[in-house]
Amino acid sequence: MRAAAILGTLLALTIAGSAGARTDANGIPAYVNGYAKWPKLNAKPIRGGSPAHQGTKQVYASKRKTGANYPLGAIVVKTATPPGKQWLSLVATMRKIRGSANGGWRWEEFTRSSPTARFTKIGFPESGCAACHMQAKANDYVFTRR
Ligand code: HEC
């Protein structure tokens, strides 16, 4: 009984700790569900590009820009497959939030090293993502544009 209570508390803490980043069975956050049907920002697959994100890349946005900026709640997703491979190895996300911290976006990146592995979130500070993406400030911190 006591063990069950402790287990329950641990479970509650685990869920609370990951609030905002609920993941699907594969470790990818649920908020990107359906991204493959969102408008694509790249005209053709991005090969090379930033070494910060390796592989062959595609970029999708859940909402279109209104003027120069993305609206609140917009989610931009970048996926990558390793060079010459078909399986997904990287999912990087930007979520437009209210406020100005880190360019007004939440930043997360998930990777895996084999097609059967679960994705895990990389331990990179959001400020580091924003610092590099600052170069694309004129396009609301988004490098890829149509
Ligand atoms: C050293 C620079 C650099 C850093 C650090 C970096 N990025 Fe990027 N990122 C880029 C570039 C350049 C692109 C454009 C596509 C490409 O070349 O891969 C990009 C593309 C993206 C995209 C697609 C939208 C866009 O801007 O084109 C997302 C989403 C993204 N990055 C998320 C992240 C996250 C999350 C982090 C931190 C964990 C991060 N990035 C860190 C350089 C960087």
Q: What is the mean pLDDT of each run of 10 residues along the chain (146 residues)?
A: 44 39 81 96 89 88 95 97 92 96 97 95 97 97 93
For residue 133, how far is its CA from the centre of ligand 1 (angstroms)?
6
Domain ranges within the chain, ordered by starting residue: 22-139
pTM of the model: 0.87
Ligand 1 close to Cβ of residue 93 (< 6 A): yes
- For ligand 1, what atom is nearest to the CA of residue 53? 18
As given in the structure block, the two tokens for residue 57 are 């890349």
The CB density around residue 69, as the number of other CB atoms within 10 Å, is 14
Ligand 1 close to Cβ of residue 52 (< 6 A): yes
Contact assessment for residue 94 and residue 105, using Cβ atoms and an 8 Å cutoff: yes
